[in-house]
């Protein structure tokens, strides 16, 4: 029997080193890629079906999770990009910022993560789970399906002081500035705002507009007078500020163009919504989405396009992020 010499070792180890290096390089290159369709491949072939199953169960248990997760995805993407930073828990995290105190559905994302960690350990990011869940909840409310590019990494930083979101009293000019900072245009602004078709808001956010707008002692004059008593009854002046009201009255929880039509008739609950009709530039987009002005815009495909675009804001790749073990804490 021949001796195994050092040179024999080198002959055996060199190919092995090449194989391991090639594998590591391939994994590193995958880690650096921007999100794309089919990103996980065989590494987690059933990622979408697992998320969809969790979403369906939570939706039928509590339909309010649909607007909750859609809003959470928006809040995540507009602060440090779509990196799941809104999911991180902590004394000064984004979750503690005033606009995020009413977010709901964190348990849905954590449940999906738990199931994915069993099926595909340390593979699927929380940021991707949130993007998929937002899409799947929209579908369950009657909205469009769209392919979600995957491969986002989870951020490691979450600070309440970074939270600077579009507000419920913002003018069109201020809203446009906020969206432009994220490479979203005015049409994206109107289309994404129309996601309020399934949304709700706490009375404390908008109540003054229906009672004492800008300290005038009267409701906002842009509100349809017949709409004022309806909201006043739901949100009494000294009532519960946390009580929630549908932003699309008459079609609550259903994904459709009713929200846009309500703006047309002065029935927008939020000032930031109603100004989309009173401003000529955004009004033209609303009219196109309602089929009142050429060239027409189809709301469902336009919403899908803008959501896909939003979901790619400032995504993390490479050393900028990680795959969390749990969504509420960094590794």
13 — phi, psi (to 5°)? -75, -30
Tell me if 197 is assigned to a ligand binding site: yes
| Active-site entry in 75, 80, 135, 152 | 75
Tell me if 25 is assigned to a ligand binding site: no
Interatomic CA distance for residues 117 and 134, integer angstroms: 20
Interatomic CA distance for residues 122 and 109, integer angstroms: 15
For residue 229 the two structure tokens come to: 């008593």
**CA contacts within 13 A on the Cβ side of 216:** 9
For residue 245 the two structure tokens come to: 């009201």
Tell me if 94 is assigned to a ligand binding site: yes
CB atoms closer than 10 angstroms to residue 214: 11
Tell me if 295 is assigned to a ligand binding site: no
- 9 classed as catalytic: no
200 — phi, psi (to 5°)? -135, 165
Which residue blocks in 152-257 are alpha helix, DSSP H?
Answer: 172-180, 186-193, 203-211, 228-234
Interatomic CA distance for residues 77 and 59, integer angstroms: 22
**Measured CA angle at 155 (ends 49, 53), to 5 deg:** 15
Interatomic CA distance for residues 159 and 234, integer angstroms: 34
Residue with tokens 């105190």: 101
Tell me if 154 is assigned to a ligand binding site: no
Tell me if 174 is assigned to a ligand binding site: no
Cβ atoms of 122 and 325 closer than 8 Å: yes
Distances (CA, A) of 10 to 2, 3, 292: 16, 14, 75
For residue 61 the two structure tokens come to: 């248990």
Tell me if 196 is assigned to a ligand binding site: yes
Tell me if 273 is assigned to a ligand binding site: no
For residue 203 the two structure tokens come to: 């009375």
Tell me if 248 is assigned to a ligand binding site: yes
DSSP class of 329: B
Binding-site residue numbers are 76, 79, 81, 83, 85, 94, 166, 196-197, 248, 256
The catalytic residue positions are 75
Binding-site residue numbers for substrate are 166
Binding-site residue numbers for Ca(2+) are 76, 79, 81, 83, 85, 94, 197, 248, 256
Binding-site residue numbers for heme b are 196
């Amino acid at each position: 029997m021949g001796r195994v010499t050092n040179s024999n070792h080198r002959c055996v180890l060199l190919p092995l080193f090449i194989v391991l290096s090639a594998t590591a390089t391939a994994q590193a290159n995958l880690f650096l890629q921007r999100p794309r369709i089919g990103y996980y491949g065989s590494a987690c072939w059933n990622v979408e079906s697992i998320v969809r199953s969790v979403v369906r169960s939570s939706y039928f248990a509590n339909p309010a999770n649909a607007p909750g997760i859609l809003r959470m995805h928006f809040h995540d993407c507009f602060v440090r990009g779509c990196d799941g930073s809104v999911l991180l828990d902590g004394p000064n995290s984004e979750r503690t910022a005033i606009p995020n105190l009413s977010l709901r559905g964190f348990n849905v994302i954590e449940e999906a993560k738990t199931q994915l960690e069993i099926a595909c350990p340390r593979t699927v990011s929380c940021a991707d789970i949130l993007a998929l869940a937002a899409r799947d909840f929209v579908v369950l409310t009657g909205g469009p399906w769209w392919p979600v590019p995957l491969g986002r990494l989870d951020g490691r930083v979450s600070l309440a002081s970074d939270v600077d979101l579009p507000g419920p009293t913002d003018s069109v000019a201020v809203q446009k500035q906020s969206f432009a900072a994220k490479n979203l245009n005015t049409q994206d602004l109107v289309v994404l705002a129309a996601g309020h078709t399934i949304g709700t808001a706490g009375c404390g956010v908008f109540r003054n507009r229906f009672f004492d707008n800008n300290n005038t002692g009267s409701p906002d004059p842009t509100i349809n007078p017949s709409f004022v008593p309806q909201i006043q009854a739901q949100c009494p002046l000294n009532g519960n500020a946390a009580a929630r009201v549908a932003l699309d009255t008459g079609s609550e929880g259903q994904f459709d163009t009713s929200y846009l039509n309500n703006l047309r008739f002065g029935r927008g609950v939020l000032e930031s919504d109603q100004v989309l009709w009173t401003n000529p530039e955004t009004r033209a987009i609303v009219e196109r989405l309602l089929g009142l002005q050429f060239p027409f815009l189809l709301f469902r495909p336009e919403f899908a396009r803008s959501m896909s675009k939003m979901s790619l804001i400032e995504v993390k790749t490479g050393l900028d992020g990680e795959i969390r073990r749990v969504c509420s804490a960094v590794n």
